[in-house]
Amino acid sequence: MPLRWPLSPPAAHLWISSNSGGLLLRKLCQTMPKKRRVSLSSSETKSSRATRRSLSPPGSSSKDPGTEERTPCGPQNQTEELLRDLDQRLRGRFARLTGGQSPWAALQAWEDWLFHLSVSPARQMELWWRWSEALKALAESSTATEQKDWAFLPEPGDRRFRSAGWNRPPFHLLAQSHLAAEAQWRAATSCIRGVTGHHARRVAFMGSSVLNAFAPVNFAGTNPDVLDAALATGGRNFLEGMMNFWTDMAAQGGHTRSGERPDWRVGETMATTEGHVVYRNDLFELIQYAPRTEKVHPEPILIVPAWIMKYYILDLTPEDSYVRWLTSQGFTVYIMSWKNPGPEQRETSFDDYRRYGVMEALDVVSRAHGDTPIHGVGYCLGGTILSIAAAAMNRQGDTRLASLTLLAAQTDFREAGELLLFIDESQLSLLEDLMHVEGTLDARNMSGAFSMLRAHEMLYARMVERYMLGRMTKPGPLDAWLADATRMPARMHGEYLRQLFMENSFTHGELSVDGEYVAVKNIQIPVFALGAERDHIAPWRSVHRIGLHGNSEMTFVLSGGGHNSSVVSPPGKAGAYYFTGPSIGMARHIEPDAWLAAAGRKEGSWWPEWLAWLIARTGSGQTASPPVPSQILGPAPGTYVLEA
């Protein structure tokens, strides 16, 4: 007999009894109300209610272009909530099969691009003409013996064809043909009228990723360096490469980024600066470092690292430890060591990281130093949440922060770079479903996304080096740190991506903290912002945008290097350089490229430049005795950093 929903409890019980998997439906039947009741307060899903409670209540309207306001369509009773939970779990299991990637998001982008290109015959003709011109140019450069004479040159920063072997025939034509194909693809995915900008960039990225995978440098038969090594060693490089491959498979399950790290162990060769854990809760440990001078500056420094990775990027080895260097400059330094969360912390919110993380750490430091102002330093995502805390503190009249230093940290996500390729409603919803099932975002998902952005450097170049050339490059401390990844709570990461990356709420003044809206403009203390020239995680132009919104004194410095190497830049580091230029405060804001044109390059580390800035905003010099920890819970580096 056909059944209609909603079933009455007796009918549902008969149907359940005759079907497998009836346990869940039996639970639904037990919770089904006899009469339908509409709850006025239940207009959103459980996860979205949690998001809005902790971050941004509904009612705001200033969104970035392309961001749509979602219509509340949550469950009206427990039955519907259980059904929606079932849907979310099913979608989460589907997301496991796709690696957390939304096929629909990709299909939408391709569909948009293909349709608008198909109805642009003149543009198609132009592309065919460009390709014929490219073939002609390739034929004319067939005799070129130096790269400078090639018809198609690598983009700045492209290191794939830098060796001299690529100047020999036929390899020079293979390289130029590949570069020509990449140039043609860039042309084919740009300036197509009607295509959404996000879709155009996504299609361009996906196509470029495929082309990059098939680059001649990635194959033994078309890579002159691999063939030269085979001739020189009689093929031994392939045997050694195979041994390297099986070593990696055994040690890391095939995840070649990690490599072996026998010489780099936390607490032994890394994170060795002397200190003590002086506070611990379920989110973080607070480490106070021992002073290296008899007298210290009265103002302490609190460092808030990102929880995407572990804190000891700032305390790698004694030679390049940012923390050790600061203690030798007469500062009392505290750093937060975030706990690596498990599924039991799935409901930990983004605001919990501010309230029970940053603010709790500030309370501990304040109790140790009394009314003395505190210098806040935030790295990456730690800088973002420290900025939010600073804005909220100003709204609440809390004056404990003396200054704010942001190291490769974004506050305005409008130009957040290639990571925005992975952020839209379809993609984010599927990722939220995956995290709903898992409880956390696994470190492999994050490292996979970052690897995709720099596939040649992070994947293919290492593959060629280890498995074709047979070179087992010994990992350094930074490699060991990169391999020591962490997880992120489901609710926190969903809120972070939706509220900041997708909706850019902090910039628009739509982020609610403790019942009050906060924005970047609420930061009223001096700000030192560091960008990294080759940063693909927090692009320096995005970091620079804080000057567009800030009301306080703002200094911007651009360091050479990438997201991590630019920060780990001790005095004496070979090849280090940075740029300094005009102030970027809102009253005298200057666009990033204009700022760079007016900036001056300086050789060496940016650390002394920042130290001079900090001391100018510090008290009367090194006049205070080093504070004695009120309690000692254990030696640095603590226990949380050791958790897998």
Q: Which residues are catalytic?
A: 380
Provide φ and ψ at 75, rounded to 5°.
-70, 150
Beta bridge partners of 516: 513
Provide φ and ψ at 571, rounded to 5°.
-55, 135
- The 3-state DSSP composition of the chain as helix, strand, coil percent (nearest 5) reads 50, 10, 40
C-alpha dist (Å) from residue 536 to 411, 482, 564: 16, 15, 10
DSSP letter for 296, please: B
Distance CA 597, CA 581 (A): 9
CA atoms within 13 A on the CB side of 248: 23
Q: Which of 346, 380, 376, 342 is nearest to 359 (CA)?
A: 376
Q: Are 273 and 315 in contact (CB under 8 A)?
A: yes
Q: What would the two tokens of residue 273 be?
A: 């600066």
Contacts of 120 (CB under 8 A, 6+ apart): 192, 193
How many of the other CB atoms lie within 10 Å of CB of 227?
16
C-alpha dist (Å) from residue 417 to 164, 325, 428, 510: 33, 32, 17, 22
Q: Which of 341, 334, 566, 293 is nearest to 443 (CA)?
A: 341
Contacts of 166 (CB under 8 A, 6+ apart): 147, 172, 175, 224
Distance CA 56, CA 516 (A): 9
Q: Which of 196, 184, 207, 209 is nearest to 113 (CA)?
A: 196
Beta bridge partners of 577: 603
Q: What would the two tokens of residue 445 be?
A: 């998902």
C-alpha dist (Å) from residue 283 to 7, 111, 392, 441: 45, 44, 20, 16
Q: Are 27 and 83 in contact (CB under 8 A)?
A: no
